[in-house]
Structure 1
Amino acid sequence: MTQWSLSTLLSELHDEIQQGLERSRKAFGHPGTKGDASEGVWLGLLNKYLPERYKAAKAHVVDSNGMFSDQIDVVVFDRQYSPFIFHYQDQTIIPAESVYACFEAKQAINAHEVEYAMEKVASVRRLHRTSLPIPHAGGVFPAKPLIPIYGGILTFESDWKPGMGEPLERLLESGTDDNQLNIGCVAAHGYFMRDSDSGNYAILAGRKPATAFLFRLIAQLQFSGTVPMIDVQAYARWLMPTEATGLA
Structure 2
Amino acid sequence: MSEWSLSTLLASLHDDIQNRLGTARRALHHPGTKGDASEGVWIDMLDTYLPKRYQAAKAFVVDSQGSFSEQIDVVVFDRQYSPFIFKFDEQIIVPAESVYAVFEAKQTATAELVAYAQRKVASVRKLHRTSLPIPHAGGTYPAKPLIPILGGLLTFESDWSPPLGPSFDKALNVDLSDGRLDIGCVASHGHFFYDSRNNGFQFERENKPATAFLFRLIEQLQFSGTVPMIDIDAYGKWLTQ
Name the SS for the 1:151 alignment partner. strand
What does residue 227 of structure 2 align with?
Answer: 227
Name the SS for the 1:184 alignment partner. strand
1-structure distance, mates of 2:134, 2:198: 32
What's the TM-score once normalised by structure 2's chain length? Answer: 0.98
Shift of 1:157: 0.6
Name the SS for the 2:75 alignment partner. strand
Q: How does 1:13-28 map to 2 (within 5 A)?
A: 13-28=13-28
Shift of 1:89: 2.6
Shift of 1:25: 0.5
Structure 1 runs (4+) deviating above 3 angstroms are none
Whether 2:185 is the aligned partner of 1:185: answer yes
Whether 2:120 is the aligned partner of 1:114: answer no
1-structure distance, mates of 2:142, 2:229: 10
What does residue 72 of structure 2 align with?
Answer: 72
Shift of 1:3: 2.1
What does residue 3 of structure 2 align with?
Answer: 3
Name the SS for the 2:226 alignment partner. coil
Letter of the 1:74 counterpart: V
Paired residues, number: 241
2-structure distance, mates of 1:199, 1:138: 41
Unaligned runs of 5+ in 2: none
Name the SS for the 1:188 alignment partner. coil
CA RMSD across the alignment: 0.9
Q: Which moved more, 1:140-149 or 1:191-200?
A: 191-200
Q: How does 1:25-40 map to 2 (within 5 A)?
A: 25-40=25-40
1-structure distance, mates of 2:5, 2:109: 33
What's the TM-score once normalised by structure 1's chain length? Answer: 0.95
Shift of 1:2: 4.4
1-structure distance, mates of 2:175, 2:7: 36
Letter of the 1:100 counterpart: Y
1-structure distance, mates of 2:172, 2:157: 17
Letter of the 1:58 counterpart: K
Letter of the 1:186 counterpart: V
2-structure distance, mates of 1:151, 1:105: 11
Unaligned runs of 5+ in 1: 242-248
Structure 1 residues 127-183: Cα deviation after superposition (integer angstroms, max 9, x where no partner): 000000000111100000000000000000111111111011111122132100000
2-structure distance, mates of 1:68, 1:174: 24
Q: How does 1:36-47 map to 2 (within 5 A)?
A: 36-47=36-47
What does residue 48 of structure 2 align with?
Answer: 48
Name the SS for the 1:82 alignment partner. coil
